[in-house]
């Protein structure tokens, strides 16, 4: 929702594309105009200069479906330009309402964006950049995960080729992406080459790569001597050798890149003002604490309630009802990386002693699956996290449990009392559950 918006000299709907954008403008005096804009910093700078010459220092608002990308990056440096984001899903439904045939063009979309913004300004999201430290963590953690995903895919490629020509490697080593395996395959890409190496040379190699278990080293050397080649097809071996060598170089580069990201994330996180809050959360640790900061940001007016936070992160399900039909399902529209962060953190907390593990176990005892139970724990955690984040207060489990007891709502478990814990009957629907009745 737009709060305290200035009086804009013009509203501009902008339909973005890779090379050329189309815009539709309505000025404060009601005049409309259209145009197109090339995607380049020079063209955008010239366009903004023309608008500033026309409207002076009066602000203008540009409405776009895109919240990130080259266009938004270029527009973000102009003080007189306010950026509003329209949800692409909402715009899609709006387009269908005015054009049932499904007809679509970039120029028409620019008009639709402008019309939607003028009619439903309360449905637009203000693009207000967070602090440099917070945005740095957002970019760094997301891009690090992208590198990790690429790294995982390359490990799968390496595994595929090793199964074809050198399957013994999968048995001799646990982590195919480690420097140990990469250097091993660079030195001896074929079993025939490896079997010519003296045991002393292999022992020296293992020790140089911190393989300190003499028993394990001797076991590997013995198995190397007994190994049989998987194939003698020279055509396959030539191609496989090149593919394995290429994959190893990619994995080495990715590993170094991930380490560089880790170092940068650690340095930025150490200076972040919300570090004490995230460091107090059980189960988060150095990997998830920066990601939690990136998920919430530092603007305390961003979420009005814990429910808003749960809906934004995708942890809260969507309920659809019509007559006697009720459908509770997964929330599709949400930041995937943010939901993944909250889910992974909640999964870590259930491994530790405390109310989270007790609640998780109660959900499993009711027949809910692992991920459904973790989402239930995550939903509770978000209510706690919201209060800690809003009030700038580190988490204290003792304080939380004391607050529950003061309200007569302390979680009871069989380990805390000699009586059987109260049970809740849940109606399962779409892998989610909702309470139907209470019994003791």
Give pLDDT, residue 415: 41
Alpha carbons within 13 A on the beta-carbon side of 226 = 7
Same domain, 302 and 231: no
Same domain, 87 and 226: no
**Do the domain assignments include residue 359?**
yes
Same domain, 118 and 140: no
Same domain, 49 and 152: no
Same domain, 225 and 310: no
Same domain, 260 and 171: yes
Domain finish residue from 70, 94, 128:
128
Per residue in 323-374, pLDDT tens? 778 888 778 878 899 999 999 999 999 999 989 999 999 999 999 999 999 9
User: What is the total count of domains within the chain?
Assistant: 3
Give pLDDT, residue 5: 60
Give pLDDT, residue 403: 81
Same domain, 46 and 83: yes
Same domain, 59 and 117: yes
Same domain, 421 and 283: yes
Same domain, 306 and 390: yes
Structural domain boundaries, residue 370: 277-439
Give pLDDT, residue 432: 40
Query: Poorest-confidence range of 54-63, 102-111, 150-159, 280-289?
Result: 102-111
Tokens in use for 22? 């189309």
Query: End-to-end alpha-carbon separation of the chain, Å?
Result: 44
Question: The domain that contains 148 carries what CATH number?
Answer: 1.10.287.4070
Same domain, 308 and 433: yes
**Do the domain assignments include residue 3?**
no
Same domain, 55 and 119: yes
Please report the DSSP string for 39-107 in residue order.
SSHHHHHHHHHHHHHHHTT--EEEEES-SSSHHHHHHTT-TTEEEEE--HHHHHHHHHHH-TT----HH
């Amino acid at each position: 929702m737009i709060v305290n918006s200035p009086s804009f000299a013009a509203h501009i709907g902008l339909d973005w594309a890779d090379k050329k954008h189309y815009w539709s403008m309505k000025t404060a005096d009601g005049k409309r105009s259209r145009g197109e804009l090339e995607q380049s910093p020079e063209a955008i700078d010239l366009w903004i200069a023309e608008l500033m010459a026309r409207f002076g220092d009066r602000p203008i608002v540009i409405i776009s479906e895109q919240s990130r990308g080259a266009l938004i990056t270029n527009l973000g440096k102009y003080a007189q330009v306010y950026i509003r984001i329209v949800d692409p899903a909402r715009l899609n439904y709006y387009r269908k309402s005015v054009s049932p045939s499904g007809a679509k063009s970039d120029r028409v979309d620019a008009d639709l964006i402008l019309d939607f913004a003028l009619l439903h300004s309360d449905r637009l999201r203000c693009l207000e950049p967070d602090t440099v430290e917070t945005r740095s963590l957002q970019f760094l953690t997301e891009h690090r995960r992208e590198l990790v995903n690429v790294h995982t895919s390359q490990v799968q490629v390496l595994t595929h080729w090793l199964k074809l020509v050198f399957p013994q490697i999968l048995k001799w080593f646990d982590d195919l992406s480690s420097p140990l395996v990469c250097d091993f395959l660079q030195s001896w890409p074929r079993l025939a080459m490896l079997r010519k190496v003296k045991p002393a040379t292999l022992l020296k190699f293992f020790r140089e790569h911190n393989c300190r278990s003499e028993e394990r080293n001797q076991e590997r050397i013995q198995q190397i001597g007994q190994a049989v080649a998987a194939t003698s097809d020279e055509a396959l071996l030539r191609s496989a050798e090149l593919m394995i060598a290429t994959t190893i170089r990619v994995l080495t580069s990715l590993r170094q890149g991930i380490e560089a990201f880790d170092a940068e994330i650690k340095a930025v996180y150490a200076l972040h003002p919300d570090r004490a809050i995230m460091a107090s959360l059980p189960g988060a640790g150095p990997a998830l604490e920066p990601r939690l900061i990136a998920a919430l940001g530092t603007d305390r007016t961003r979420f009005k309630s814990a429910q808003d936070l749960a809906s934004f992160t995708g942890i809260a399900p969507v309920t659809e009802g019509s007559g006697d039909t009720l459908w509770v399902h997964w929330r599709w529209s949400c930041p995937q990386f943010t939901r993944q962060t909250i889910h992974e953190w909640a999964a870590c907390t259930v491994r530790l002693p405390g109310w989270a593990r007790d609640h998780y176990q109660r959900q499993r005892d009711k027949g809910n699956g692992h991920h459904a139970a973790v989402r239930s724990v995550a939903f509770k955690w978000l209510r706690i996290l919201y209060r800690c984040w809003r009030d700038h207060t580190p988490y204290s489990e003792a304080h939380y449990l004391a607050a529950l007891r003061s309200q007569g709502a302390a979680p009871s478990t069989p380990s805390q009392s000699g009586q059987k814990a109260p049970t809740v009957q849940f109606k399962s629907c779409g892998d989610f559950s909702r309470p139907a009745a209470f019994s003791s």
